[in-house]
Structures are given as C-alpha cells and as structure tokens.
Amino acid sequence: MLKEHLMENNDKEKIKQKKIFDIASRAVLASRELRIISSDSKKNALIKIAELIDQKSEDIQFRNEIDVEAAKEDNLPAALIDRLLLDGKRIKSMTDGIREVAAMEDPVGEVLSHYTRPNGLVIDKVRVPLGVIAMIYESRPNVTGDSAALCLMSSNAVILRGGTEALNSNLAIGHYIREALKGTDIPQDAVQIIDDSDRNLINYLVSLKGMVDVVIPRGSEEMIETISRMSSVPVIGHGKGLCHIYIDSSADRKKAVEIVYNAKVQRPGVCNAVETLLVHTDAARSILPAVCEKLRSAQVELRGDEAAREICQMNEATEEDWSTEYLSLILSVKIVGSLEEAVEHIEKYGSRHSDCIIAEDREACDRFTDVVDSACVYCNASTRFTDGNQMGLGAEIGISNQKLHARGPMGLKELTSYKYLIRGNGQIRQ
C-alpha cells in the first residue's frame, strides 16, 4: 500500500515536471523568434498589453479579491495583504509602467564596439537578449506586469512563478498579457505563468540548464539562498538591503537630519531604506540629538550602543541588531571613532546594496566611496535613490547586490548579453 502510494506520488511529480519541461520548451522556441523581432513589434505589443489590462481591470480586481479573501482567512499579516491588493489605481499604475517600458530605447542590437583587426577581420560586439528568464517572486502581483514588459522589451521569453497567495491575480494578469499578444508579432509563449504552487517544481525549473538562461529570484533572503543553492542555471538574486548612513565629523547637521529622516521614514519597507546609523564620535553630541528628535517625530524606534545611549535616550542595541534588515520604523545607532571604523562595520554587517557618507570634507567622501564596496555608494544624499527610475536608468526588474553581470538597479540593458559577429574574407589562423 505504502509502496503504491509512493509510486503514485512519484508519477504525479513526474507529470507535473513534464508540464514545467513543456513550458520551458515553448519558452525556448519563443525566445528564438524573439531574437529577430523588431523594436516596433515589441512596442506595439506592449501597448496592446497595457490597453487590454486597462479594459479588463475589473475582472482582474475580481480575481484579486479571491486571493485577498483567502489571505484574510489565513490571517496573513496586514502588510502582506496590503501588498497583495490590486485596486483600480494600482492596475492603472502597472499599465502606465508597461507603457513607459514601451517608450524606452530598445537595448537589443546596440553595437557595443566595432573594430577591424590587422588581418582584416571586422568584429562587432552586439547586444543580444539573454534568452529565457525564469522569474521567481513573492506577493505583489503587479510585478507580473512589470517583469513581463521588461523581459519582452529586451526580447527575452519569461517564465513567471509568483507567490502562492497571489496565484489568481497573477494568472488573471498573465491571461490578458497572452490574450493581448495574439495578433502581434510576439509569440504568446514569450510569457508563461506557472499555475502550480508546488515548491518542488521551482527546484525542477532551475535545474533546466540549456533551456533556462537566467533565474531571477526576488524576495526574502532565505528564498534567494535556497534557489542559488538548488540552481544549475546562473542566478541573479535581488535580496537584502541592509543600508548604512555614516555621519562624518565634518558632516553638515541639517543635511544629516534630513537625509537620515528621508532614508528611514519616506518608505521604510523597501530595500534601499537605511537600517543602521553610524556617527563619528566628534559629531555625536552636535548632530545626533537633532537626528533622534526628528526621527522620533515619526515614531521611529531607536536602538543604540552604549555611547549612543549616553547622548540620546534609546533602547539598547544587541549584536543581532547590526545584521537585521528591519524594513520598518526601527533604526540601530552606533558611535564610531573614525571613518575607518565605520567602513569596517559596513564591511562586516552590510549587504553591499546602498551605503552613504554625510560629510563636507571632500577627502573623507572620496575615501569612503573608494573603499566601500556596495552597488551604490552615496555622498550627501538619501539611499532611497537606489532605484532605476530615480537613477535615470528607467524601470527595473529589481536591484542586484551581487557583483556578477548586473549590480544595483537591473533594467533593460541588464536583461541582455552580447555576442561577437566576426566577418572575414577567408582569414585563417597562422
């Protein structure tokens, strides 16, 4: 009986894997068509997608309600339910985003370099799509529309696997994307949604080397870790943002107060919000009280080391605080003896995402930006600017804090690779 049961389960798993394999096979075929698609065809298709989603907004909201109701029944946290919710405004904002991507410059086909070798070989290094992207993400269903638009505009086929709690919403958005692609030059299979929330299938998907070219996980650190370990396909993780602001002894008080407040309070739940404040001991008495006062006006909880607690009243920070990405109105505070000590702390606890120095001394700024090895290193500005749109790179699929391929905001260009076209007239190697 047990054996039969196991065999049955095994068969079920195989049937499910076959479905994923078929999805990947169709994505490969679609990606081959996309290699030679024109910019106009892509722009036209994206506009059609935006139009249809706008038209079907009510139906998508209806499907979304099913997810939201289920989440409420399951007593999921209010913040998660809020992120899950799609109202008319959020759907409009998603379709505006898709139209923005359609208006962006096509990255594919760009000639990155062109030169002639002494033997007459003419070499062009040309930007090409990555191929098939597997995108694995959590909760917010508007990511489905954003990601599909960015992948299509960069001529990639995409396989989308969103969070279980958003399955109905994602399937609805995916359905209308594919509907809209009918009658355009883009094959429908360029966008496919996995409708099975079995987690083992993710492991199977990321094992399909040779079919899937890149895996982009976007979500919790654990999720990204697990996928990185399981995957035989290259992974670009969009993970943790444990961002620091260091107030140097040469800092301007007003700038310090405004920047720290903005970086913590303007949107605390995102990866580019600040989590730890480092203050030079010489600036602590003159600047920290004003910073704390302003933060308290927004109900920010402060957790400090002993030296910080001597200057402002706050809770005690434990060792764990330095490595915690709060994603909420909490800030840890540490007094340091030097810029070097601040850098050491960032090196030890940071996530190489966004780190900032506030200093009027140009030399101190340069030392900090030279040595700190993060995707975005700031001098006198809020870490909240780490964002494709804010940095003038256009919409982004996420923010990478790994060093390979894409670092920081990952937009259209970062969704491409290149190849060398080498033209000769009979050259052979001596």
State the nearest-atom distance from the C-beta of 422 to its own copies, in Å.
Answer: 5
Tokens 């987690």 correspond to what residue?
Answer: 199
Cβ-based nearer residue to its own copies, 67 or 213: 213
Residue type at position 137: Y
State the nearest-atom distance from the C-beta of 396 to its own copies, in Å.
Answer: 13
How far, in Å, CA of 220 to CA of 231, rounded? 17
Cβ-based nearer residue to its own copies, 185 or 347: 347
204 within 8 A of 235, measured Cβ to Cβ: no
Residue 23: phi and psi, rounded to 5, are -60, -45
SS3 335: strand
In this chain, which of 38, 200, 266, 313 binds its own copies, going by CB under 8 A?
A: 266
In this chain, which of 96, 209, 220, 285 binds its own copies, going by CB under 8 A?
A: 209
Task: Verify binding: residue 419, its own copies, rule CB under 8 A.
Answer: yes
Residue 9: phi and psi, rounded to 5, are -60, -40
Cβ-based nearer residue to its own copies, 148 or 365: 365
Q: Give the binding range for its own copies (CB under 8 A) out of 39-47, 48-56, 207-215, 281-289.
A: 207-215
Q: Determine the size of the site formed for its own copies (CB under 8 A).
A: 68
Task: Verify binding: residue 214, its own copies, rule CB under 8 A.
Answer: yes
Q: Give the binding range for its own copies (CB under 8 A) out of 11-19, 170-178, 323-331, 379-387.
A: 379-387
| Beta-strand runs (E) in 58-177 | 111-116, 122-129, 132-137, 157-161
Residue type at position 185: D
How far, in Å, CA of 332 to CA of 240, rounded? 16
* Site residues (CB under 8 A) for its own copies, limited to 36-75: 36
Cα distances (Å, whole numbers) of residue 16 to 13, 133, 429: 5, 20, 50
In this chain, which of 11, 58, 74, 370 binds its own copies, going by CB under 8 A?
A: 370
Task: Verify binding: residue 384, its own copies, rule CB under 8 A.
Answer: yes
| Residues 6 or more apart in contact with residue 237 via CB below 8 angstroms | 216, 217, 224, 227, 228, 400, 401, 402
Cβ-based nearer residue to its own copies, 63 or 384: 384
Cβ-based nearer residue to its own copies, 109 or 289: 109
Q: Give the binding range for its own copies (CB under 8 A) out of 1-9, 96-104, 180-188, 258-266.
A: 258-266
Q: Give the binding range for its own copies (CB under 8 A) out of 63-71, 93-101, 238-246, 382-390.
A: 382-390
* Site residues (CB under 8 A) for its own copies, limited to 112-151: 115, 117, 121, 123, 128, 130-131
How far, in Å, CA of 401 to CA of 351, rounded? 7
At 96, list the tokens. Answer: 């505006």
Characterize 54-77 residue by residue with b for buried, 16 or more Cβ atoms within 10 angstroms of its Cβ, and e for exposed. bebbeebbebbeebbeebeeeebe
User: DSSP letter at 317?
Assistant: P
Q: Give the binding range for its own copies (CB under 8 A) out of 18-26, 170-178, 182-190, 381-389.
A: 381-389
State the nearest-atom distance from the C-beta of 361 to its own copies, in Å.
Answer: 13
Cβ-based nearer residue to its own copies, 94 or 133: 133
Cβ-based nearer residue to its own copies, 12 or 114: 114
Dihedral angle over CA of 107, 112, 114, 115, nearest 10: -170
Task: Verify binding: residue 14, its own copies, rule CB under 8 A.
Answer: no
Contacts 24+ apart (CB under 8 A), 361-368: 361/248, 361/249, 361/250, 364/248, 364/250, 364/339, 367/339, 368/246, 368/248, 368/339, 368/342, 368/343
Q: Give the binding range for its own copies (CB under 8 A) out of 67-75, 135-143, 260-268, 325-333.
A: 260-268
Cβ-based nearer residue to its own copies, 60 or 365: 365
At 108, list the tokens. Answer: 């594919």
Cβ-based nearer residue to its own copies, 202 or 259: 259
50 within 8 A of 95, measured Cβ to Cβ: yes
Residue type at position 57: S
Residues that bind its own copies (CB under 8 A): 32, 35-36, 115, 117, 121, 123, 128, 130-131, 209, 213-214, 225, 228-229, 232, 234-236, 252, 254-255, 258-259, 261-263, 266, 347, 365, 369-371, 373-382, 384-385, 390-392, 402-405, 407-408, 417-429
